[in-house]
């Protein structure tokens, strides 16, 4: 094999200086990026494939040599027991741990979650624009009663990205009453649609059908509570102005407070913000 060593150069402490053994092109390699015993490189100038032994015995004179791409069986350490073994091993030959699963569980920030859900979440991160990955992840969390895990991961992603709007459509699918500001209106619309379907399947008397339509419209547009408020005020005025109808004052106050209370509760901005 062709070999060459590097001369002493003024380089940062965390970098190694190496040369291509064929054209002598100089390279600087950051040590923390070296993961194998024989790191390989391809020269950008002459396309020579070369390597050197790591750790190096002398940082000022590193031996590089030309190799074929398949000459070495690269080594890696088991993340659990630090056993040095072939890079191709999926299971540690010493402790028997599945290396990929161990790393996934080690890096997971949510306690007590199955490895299959962690892998599905990684699929979401790798192809975030792929809606199918999101649907599959959320549906699997729902089937395993782990929607709290899905909610946690999306909220964590939104915080790290500094943009919660990117995850809001999926949070709305996970917990609509909490994250969808239009959830109540959608429920009312669904009730109206169900009532319309029921009307088609089993016709109601004309009076009841019109009454249901008017009631749904008033509730949807808050007029129902407005009419209750006006009726309460009218009863109070009538009770004050008519001596024989004093008892209507209490009834009017009760109706007024009930209407205002229902209106405030239904349109509470804090509830919509949640």
For residue range 248-271, list pLDDT tens digits in order: 777 777 776 777 676 666 666 554
Give residue 64's pLDDT band: very low, low, confident or very high (50, 70, 90): very high
**What residue ranges do the domains of the chain occupy?**
3-66, 74-107, 110-179, 183-273
- Give the residue carrying structure tokens 């909610």: 151
User: Crossing angle, helix 147-161 and helix 131-143, to 10 degrees?
Assistant: 140
Would strands 15-19 and 40-42 be described as parallel, antiparallel, or unpaired? unpaired
Q: How far apart are CA 65 and CA 2, in angstroms?
A: 5
CB 10 within 8 A of CB 19: no
DSSP secondary structure code for residue 91 in this structure: B
Answering whether pTM is above 0.85, one says no
Return the number of other C-beta atoms located less than 10 Å from residue 190's C-beta.
10
Residue range 81-107, pLDDT digits in tens: 888 877 778 898 889 888 888 888 888
* Helix, strand, coil share of the chain (percent; to 5): 55, 10, 35
Residue that wins the pLDDT comparison between 6 and 47? 47
Q: How far apart are CA 264 and CA 49, in angstroms?
A: 74
Residue 54 has pLDDT above 50, yes or no: yes
Neighbour-count burial of 3, counting CB atoms closer than 10 A to its CB (0-12 exposed, 13-18 middle, 19+ buried): exposed
Residue 164 has pLDDT above 50, yes or no: yes
Residue 190 has pLDDT above 60, yes or no: yes
Query: What's the whole-number average pLDDT of the chain?
Result: 78
Residues in the chain: 274
Whole-number pLDDT of residue 274: 46
């Amino acid at each position: 094999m062709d070999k060459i060593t590097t001369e002493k150069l003024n380089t940062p402490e965390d970098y190694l200086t190496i040369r291509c053994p064929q054209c002598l092109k100089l390279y600087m390699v950051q040590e923390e990026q070296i993961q194998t015993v024989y790191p390989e490189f391809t020269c950008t100038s002459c396309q020579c494939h070369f390597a050197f032994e790591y750790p190096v015995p002398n940082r000022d004179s590193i031996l590089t040599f030309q190799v074929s791409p398949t000459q070495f069986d690269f080594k890696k350490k088991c993340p659990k027991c630090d056993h040095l073994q072939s890079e191709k091993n999926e299971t540690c030959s010493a402790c028997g741990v599945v290396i990929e699963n161990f790393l996934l569980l080690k890096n997971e920030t949510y306690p007590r979650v199955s490895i299959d859900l962690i892998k599905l979440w990684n699929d979401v991160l790798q192809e975030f624009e792929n809606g199918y990955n999101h649907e599959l992840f959320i549906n699997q969390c729902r089937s395993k009663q782990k929607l709290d895990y899905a909610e946690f991961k999306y909220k964590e992603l939104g915080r790290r990205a500094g943009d919660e709007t990117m995850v809001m459509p999926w949070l709305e699918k996970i917990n609509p009453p909490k994250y969808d500001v239009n959830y109540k209106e959608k429920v009312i619309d669904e009730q109206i649609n169900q009532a319309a379907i029921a009307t088609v399947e089993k016709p109601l008397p004309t009076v009841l059908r019109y009454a249901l339509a008017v009631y749904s419209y008033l509730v949807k547009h808050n007029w129902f509570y407005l009419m209750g408020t006006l009726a309460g005020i009218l009863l109070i005025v009538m009770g004050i102005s008519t001596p024989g109808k004093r008892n209507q004052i209490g009834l009017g106050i009760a109706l007024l407070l009930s209407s205002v209370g229902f209106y405030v509760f239904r349109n509470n901005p804090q509830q919509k913000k949640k």
